[in-house]
Amino acid sequence: MAWTWRFEKTDGTEVEPAVEPEEFTTQGDAESWLGEAWRDLLEGGADQVVLAEDGTTVYGPMSLHAEQAAEG
C-alpha cells in the first residue's frame, strides 16, 4: 500500500509541490509529513491537498490555509 498526496490550487488544478514527498507506507506517516511541510507547500503555491491510498482518494481537498482549515 502506498499513501500519496496530490497538491492543488483552490480550483483543483494540480501543482508541483515545493517540497517533494515520498510514498508513505501508512496514513499516519503521510499525515505527519504534511504536518511538518504544509507551510513550505503553501508558500510554494499549493492551496490544498488530497490524500490517496493506492490511487483512491481517502479525503480532501483539505486547505493548507490555516484560517480556512480552522473554520472547516
Q: What phi and psi, each to the nearest 5 degrees, are found at residue 5?
A: -105, 145
- 48 Cβ neighbours under 8 A, 6+ residues apart: 7, 8, 9, 10, 60, 61, 62, 63, 64
pLDDT in tens, 51-60: 999 999 999 9
- pLDDT (0 to 100) of residue 8: 98
Above 70 in pLDDT, residue 12?
yes
More confident residue, 26 or 72: 26
- Cα 58 to chain centroid distance, Å, stands at 11
**What pLDDT shows up at residue 70?**
47
At 28-72, the pLDDT tens digits run 999 999 999 999 999 999 999 999 999 999 999 999 997 654 444
